[in-house]
């Protein structure tokens, strides 16, 4: 059965792979972007199937997020799945950052990564309820558990996303909506290429006993399963996709 899926931050990287995974199984996609309009249109044009749409919003803008969610539901005829993937990462090591830059990093990161995802979920819930239930899958990070010393706002935003997902899993279960989270480590994306191709690349790869980082498609596979009816009783879970580079108890 074809589902109606909104993926935020789907113009590249992990989000693009997630959109592709859903489209390959016959689902119709709303591909969200923040600034990369041409990339988002390229993604929609290349996706298998038809009926896909592009929606835009600054995830830090609450009204823009609501408009994008509603637009996605209008174009697709409803929503069955929301994937909260959009996020930003700005380095701001505490001993090397001005107070003004520190404030800006925290404000933008939390507004986009955490509050933006919370707003998208809130706005999607009525559509999911109208569809008879569905799934919300959040894309978090290994950094929520091991810490991000050069980008503490990022680690905090993802830890907040984990807690948010578990809270929403409890709140929305009576309405037939499952909420779960994927926490990747380093992923082979365009954004990571500078690090992976640079002098620190081998050290990053060797963080995993597999000697490599994740492929976007591996993260997408976990998201696809968590959004499936077979995963409904796994609501509230957090799946690590980090190649054993960080093991938590």
pLDDT of 173 over the 90 cut: yes
| In-domain check, residue 249 | no
Closest CA to 137 of 25, 52, 14: 14
Question: pTM for the whole thing?
Answer: 0.97
The tokens for 226 are 């968590």
> What's the CATH number where 164 sits?
3.40.50.720
| In-domain check, residue 149 | yes
| C-alpha–C-alpha distance, residues 140 and 27, integer Å | 23
Separation of CA 182 from chain center: 8
- The string of pLDDT tens digits covering residues 49-87 is 999 999 999 999 999 999 999 999 999 999 999 999 999
- Average pLDDT score over the chain: 97
The strand order across the sheet containing 134-139 reads 53-56, 28-33, 4-7, 81-84, 134-139, 177-184, 238-241
Q: Does residue 31 contact residue 10 with C-beta atoms inside 8 Å?
A: yes
| In-domain check, residue 245 | no
Verify whether residue 33 is a known catalytic residue: no
Look at residue 190 in the predicted model and tell me its pLDDT: 84
pLDDT class for 178, splitting at 50, 70, 90?
A: very high
Look at residue 15 in the predicted model and tell me its pLDDT: 98
Give the pairing type, strands 53-56 and 177-184.
Answer: unpaired
- The string of pLDDT tens digits covering residues 118-158 is 999 999 999 999 999 999 999 999 999 999 999 999 999 99
Look at residue 193 in the predicted model and tell me its pLDDT: 86
| In-domain check, residue 248 | no
Q: Which of 33, 99, 154, 246 is catalytic?
A: 154
DSSP string, 202-237: HHHHTTSTTSS-B-HHHHHHHHHHHTSGGGGGGTT-
Q: State the alpha helices, DSSP H only, in 77-110.
A: 99-109
| In-domain check, residue 83 | yes
Number of domains in the chain: 1
| In-domain check, residue 191 | yes
Identify the residue whose tokens are 């090591």. Answer: 93
| In-domain check, residue 33 | yes
User: Could you list the residue range(s) of the whole structural domain that residue 169 is in?
Assistant: 4-240
């Amino acid at each position: 059965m074809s589902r109606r899926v909104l993926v935020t931050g789907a113009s590249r990287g992990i989000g693009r792979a997630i959109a592709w995974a859903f489209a390959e199984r016959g689902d119709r996609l709303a591909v969200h972007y923040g600034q990369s309009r041409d990339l988002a249109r390229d993604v929609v044009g290349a996706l298998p199937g038809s009926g896909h749409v592009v929606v835009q919003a600054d995830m830090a803008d609450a009204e823009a997020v609501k408009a994008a969610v509603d637009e996605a539901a209008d174009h697709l005829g409803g929503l069955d799945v929301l994937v909260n993937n959009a996020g930003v990462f700005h380095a701001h090591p505490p001993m090397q950052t001005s107070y003004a830059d520190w404030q800006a990093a925290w404000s933008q990161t939390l507004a986009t990564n955490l509050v933006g995802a919370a707003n998208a979920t809130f706005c999607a819930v009525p559509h999911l309820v109208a569809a008879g239930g569905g799934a919300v899958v959040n894309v978090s990070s290994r950094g929520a558990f091991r810490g991000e010393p050069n980008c503490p706002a990022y680690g905090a935003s993802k830890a907040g996303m984990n807690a948010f997902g578990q809270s929403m899993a409890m709140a929305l279960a009576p309405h037939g909506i499952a909420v779960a989270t994927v926490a990747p480590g380093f992923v082979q994306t365009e954004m990571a290429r500078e690090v992976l191709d640079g002098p620190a690349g081998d050290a990053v790869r060797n963080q995993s006993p597999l000697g490599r980082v994740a492929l976007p498609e591996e993260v997408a596979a976990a998201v696809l399963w968590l959004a499936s009816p077979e995963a409904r009783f796994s609501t509230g879970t957090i799946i690590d996709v980090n190649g054993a580079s960080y093991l938590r108890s």
